[in-house]
Each structure stands twice: as structure tokens, then as C-alpha cells.
Amino acid sequence: YVDFVPSVTSNEEVLHEGGILQSEMRSMQENLNNEMKNMHQSNDQISKLVEDLEETQKALKISLKLVKIDAFMHKIKLCNESKRYNDIHEHLRSIEKIIEDPKDKIIRRLDCIKNMKHRLTVERCNLKFTLEAEFNRLIQMKEKSFPKTRAVTFSISKNTCELIDCIHALFECEFS
């Protein structure tokens, strides 16, 4: 996985400008379609322009999706640092939705998507491993065996918010 956008440009700027470009392109396409109906002489030329515009629009749509994925990867990195596990899980799901979009057949054929799927799997495994370690830190179990019985002692952290978040994130990872 490689960052698509240099660090000097924020993803939000690119997404905002890309959205503006997309709406302008839709408007242009509608105008061209209307003009095409009125001008019979230049029908072939306008048709070619419309096709080119549609192709460019598809390319822009794919590019914006890749920038969104890159933005989510950066957010995952920040969430890892601040231990916001539920947010990490949500970002991973968002990336998967973009990659597995049934309407978009182009993005699934891109070479970089294979790398992103691999990175997605690695991030999921890291999240699960981190959550299990965090759970073991918050709830410690000690077991003593006697001839006919066993004694189990649980030590539960007093930080209930952290414990609840960890358990919730573990369940989300296991069942999604």
C-alpha cells in the first residue's frame, strides 16, 4: 500500500474539489446531451465528446474512491494511536464497502486493490490481536488446581469504560 496523495495536500481538500468537479462534469454532460439533440450537423463530434466526458467522469469517480480509502487508512493510523478500536473497525468496514461495491466493476480490477485487500486483512488481524491483548490486560484470570477442585480468580480493571469499549470492539470484530 502506498499513499496516493502527498502529505502537503489534505484528503478533505481533494475530496471537496473532486466533488465540485464531479457536479460540474454532470452539468456539462447534461448540457452536451441537450445540445446534441439540437445540432444534427455535429452529432458525431458531440457524441465523441460525451463518450470522452463519461470516461473521464468514471476515472474521477474511481480516483475519488481511492482517495477516500487513503483517507480512511490515515484515520486508522490515528485511531490506533489513540486506542479508538470501534472507530478503527468502522473505518475498515467503510474501506471494504468501497472495494466490494457491486455496482463498481472497475475498481475491483485495479492492481492496487489487491494490495489494499491485503492491507485490510493485516489491519483486521492487528486490531483483533490488539483487542485480545487489551482484554487480557483489563481482565486477568488466575487458576489454581487442587486435588478435587479448582479455584479461579478474576482481576477486573476498574476502568469500566475502557473495558466496555474493548469488549464491544471484540464482539464487532468477531461477528462482522
Q: Within 13 Å, how many C-alpha atoms sit on residue 53's CB side?
A: 19
**pLDDT at residue 140 in the model:** 86
Please give the C-alpha separations between residue 172 and each of 9, 88, 94, 124, 152, in angstroms, as whole numbers: 33, 11, 14, 11, 28
What is the Cα–Cα distance from 50 to 73, expressed in whole angstroms? 35
Per residue in 88-141, pLDDT (tens digit) is 989 999 999 998 888 888 888 888 888 888 888 898 888 889 888 888 888 888
Average pLDDT over residues 55-64: 91
Q: How confident is the model at residue 3 (pLDDT cuts 50, 70, 90)?
A: low
The whole model's pTM is what? 0.68
